[in-house]
A and B are shown apart, each in its own frame.
Chain A
Amino acid sequence: MRRIRAAAVGAVTLSFALTVAACGGGSSGTEGSNEQPKTLTYWASNQGANLEVDKKVLQPELDKFEKETGIEVKLEVVPWADLLNRILTATTSGQGPDVLNIGNTWSASLQSSGALLPWDAKNFEAIGGKDRFVESALGSTGVQGQDPAAVPLYSMAYALYYNKRMFADAGVEKPPATWEELAETGKKLSGNGKWGLGAEGSNLSNNIHQVFVLAKQHGADFFTPEGKADFTSDGAVAAVRQYVDLMAKDKIVAPGNAEYAQNQSLSDFAKDKTAMVLWQTASATFESQGMSEDEWGVAPAPVQSGEPGPGKATNSMVAGINMAVFKNTKNIDGAKKFVRFMTSDEEQVVLNKAYGSIPPVKAAQQDPAFNTPSLTVLRETLATSATALPQVPEESQFETVVGTAVKELFADAAAGRAVTDDSVRAELEKAQQQMPKK
């Protein structure tokens, strides 16, 4: 009879599960509560050389926080490959962390799901006010005109990294400031198995970052002000073409770069195989690959002409990591306290120093640690000439489809097939049609 009872219990459980599942996600509380004021779960993104490094950086700070507030923070460092899927499943099921890191370009997409706590004036007040943060970093926290879905935690920007020795060997005196100069310099540096510029042709996000900036320089945007996809404007086509032409026409990017997706372009750079890369905050990587800091130089990423600045003189996207709170947290006050702690002037210096990034908090930027030549370039780029990626809910689709289009074009270029305005437009047209209809 015991078996029958077990069967009955099982059947009841199952039908119960069915009913509940049919009723949808488990996101019960909408505004968060304070049921569990003593603990927090925190998903950190992988910022250091590996997961263990991250734990070593973060754990002492979390201990400090526990000492101050008595709140224990359970840390999990989530690899980038899993982070977005984990957030998605957490959103669907309502079973997630209390506080988490998100790539700042995901802000608007995640905001639209309604799972993240909106940072209205009251919430910002709880962490010391909105005006503590740098303007450009706040630009990448959600759809404009809505309360931000996250607050900036670490900031990064693109810059041109160049190999000083290779420059000296080729008789190049100063790093290129415009694309034209970049192509010329690149040609001087290419040859004998060496190449002028590195690219990461199969890395979708990187492709997006690069063509987004170029599109800005051509006065184009991938989304209309109303938030509709607009991938095939002349400016967008010109931007994508210009980027792929670095390989197809100027031939300063090695064809092999078309399949790079795991930062092989950075190891090529560290091995003196390529002389330049356009990358965000790459110093830590170069050091981990055995380069010493005086071997490379950092210059602002190129523009079409003149000096970097706003608008058409944009030379970087606003890169970085934001910190968000899940709306249905059971420790809403503790979560805010934790965000306040992590964005405090003192912690911002500690953390950004450890990761080689720039603090998005104005006061923390004043710390001398961020005055090195390379960080100064990044800081100024962020302050004057960086633009946030489109803050639209479809951003992550945009990254996938346009990033793939650029990848396919790189594959064409590497195989020696012609890259023309028409072929670029066709790829972008295809990408645009895959976007959800509105």
Chain B
Amino acid sequence: MPDPAVRRPRSPMAAPRSFLWSRRVFLTLLTVFVLLPVYVMISSSLKPLEDVSGKFEWLPSGLTVRPYFDIWETVPLADYFVNSLIVAGAATLCSVTIAVFAAYAVSRYSFRGKRVFTVTVLSTQMFPGILFLLPLFLIYVNIGNATGIALFGSRGGLILTYLTFSLPFSIWMLIGYFDSVPRDLDEAAKVDGCGPLGALFRVIVPAAIPGIVAVAVYAFMTAWGEVLFASVMTNETTRTLAVGLQGYATQNDVYWNQVMAASLVVSLPVVAGFLLLQRYLVTGLTAGAVK
């Protein structure tokens, strides 16, 4: 928790009391706001179903860990989790790789159509998903019929879709970041005999690791949470978590405690990984966004 009593050593000037108090009040309120749903998730996941579907109580009257065992029986949670990991992971990997190439081209070369490319790419962020859900589905099916590459219903189709969702923003962020890597560095590498790709991978990418991590986190979260496309593009074997979690709301009943328990279980690895990368993310976004 914030502790204004601690002297801030690097502060150019001691902050007045009003600042410290505002800070304390504001951050406390914000923490409550942010953590409230998290608390509800944890406490509800430890209640028996009757209690959860009854009136809300701050402290559970009866504690049980049963939901944490039941979640695996009600829906094939582990399968969904693996699907989500594969889809989000692969989409992230591809999206970042493709964005790195594209951003390198834009940042380091001048060529015809550069402006058209960047403007078009960014404008795809404006497309309402509904507009291209069915057309995209049709295209996948037709590609499947024509080439035998099963995109529809497969993880591949979903990976392809998600990676393009995060691509525009990733390219845009990486352009800014690559621009901030001094050109002398890659010129020097080229003089040393590296080809253009050598310069990219030996010089620019290492210097841009934080930005790349930032982009990767963003791409991962985009793919991890998407509901609409996943609901029609997956089948039982490829269903992702975002859709699969809805399996706890059945015909007869909503297993609130299991929904919460399952959400927590699947979020934990992601939150943990996210936090591990946090340091990179902060520095990473700096250079990308501020340019």
Q: Which residues of A contact B (CB under 8 A)?
A: 13, 16-17, 20-21, 25-26, 46-52, 76-82, 85-86, 89, 92-95, 262-264, 266-267, 271, 284-285, 288-290
The reply on B31 being an interface residue by CB < 8 A is: no
Those 10 A-B pairs whose CB atoms lie nearest each other, nearest first: A285-B252, A93-B141, A20-B142, A76-B236, A262-B254, A50-B250, A50-B74, A89-B232, A267-B53, A17-B143
Residues of B within 8 A of A289 (CB): 49-50, 253
- Bound complex: CA A48 to CA B232 (Å): 22
Question: Which listed residue, B53, B135, B232, touches A82 by the CB 8 Å rule?
Answer: B232
What would 5 A/B residue contacts be, using CB atoms closer than 8 Å? A20-B145, A21-B139, A48-B251, A94-B141, A264-B254
- Stretch in B19-27, B87-95, B146-154, B186-194 touching the partner: B146-154
Q: What's the minimum C-beta distance from B61 to chain A, rounded to whole angstroms?
A: 15
Alpha-carbon distance between A95 and B151 when the two chains are bound, in angstroms: 12
For B143, give its contact among A13, A50, A79, A92 (CB under 8 Å).
A13
A52 touches B74 (CB 8 A): yes
Which residues of the partner chain B approach A86 to less than 8 Å between Cβ atoms?
A: 232
* Contact status of A76 and B235, CB under 8 A, knowing A13-B143, A17-B143: yes
Beta-carbon contact of B247 and A50 below 8 Å: yes
Q: Does B246 contact A (CB under 8 A)?
A: yes
Which A residues are CB-close (under 8 A) to B153? 95
Chain B positions 32 through 50: 1 when the CB is less than 8 Å from some CB of chain A, otherwise 0: 0000000000000000011
Interface SS, B side? helix
Given A92-B138, A93-B138, A267-B53, A20 and B146 touching (CB < 8 A)? Answer: yes
Contacts of B68 in A (CB 8 A): none
Taking the nearest CB of chain B, how far is it from the CB of A14, in angstroms? 9
A49 and B139 form a contact (CB under 8 A): no
With contacts A89-B134, A95-B152 taken as known, whether A49 is within 8 angstroms of B143 at the C-beta atoms is: no
* Contact of B16 with A by CB under 8 A: no
Q: Which residue of A lies closest to B234 (CB)?
A: A82
- B residues with a Cβ closer than 8 A to A are 49-50, 53-54, 73-76, 134-135, 137-139, 141-147, 152-153, 231-232, 235-236, 243, 246-255
Question: Shortest beta-carbon distance, A39 to chain B, in Å?
Answer: 15
Number of cross-chain contacts by CB at 8 Å: 99
Of B50, B144, B252, B255, most A-chain CB atoms within 10 Å: B252
Shortest CB–CB separation between residue B115 and chain A, in angstroms? Answer: 22
Known: A264-B53, A284-B252. A50 touches B145 (CB 8 A): no
Complex: chain B residue closest to A45, CB-CB: B251
Shortest Cβ distance from residue B17 to the other chain A in the assembled complex, whole angstroms:
46
A26 touching B141 in the complex, CB below 8 Å, given contacts A50-B247, A262-B249: yes
Interchain CA distance A288-B53 in the complex, whole Å: 14
Q: How far is the CB of A218 from chain B (nearest CB, A)?
A: 30
User: Does B232 contact A263, Cβ atoms closer than 8 Å?
Assistant: no
Nearest to A268 among chain B residues (CB) is B53
Is the Cβ of A80 less than 8 Å from the Cβ of B251?
A: yes
A232 CA to B180 CA, complexed, in Å: 66
Q: Which residues of B contact A13 (CB under 8 A)?
A: 143, 146-147
Closest to A41 in B: B235
Contact indicator B73/A52 (Cβ below 8 Å): yes
User: B236's contact among A20, A77, A81, by CB below 8 Å, is which?
Assistant: A77
Contact between chains at B73 and A263 (CB < 8 Å): no
Q: Which residue, B74, B236, B247, B250, has most C-beta atoms of chain A within 10 A?
A: B250
Pairwise interchain contact A49-B252, C-beta atoms closer than 8 A: yes
Contact present for A17 and B146 (CB under 8 Å): yes
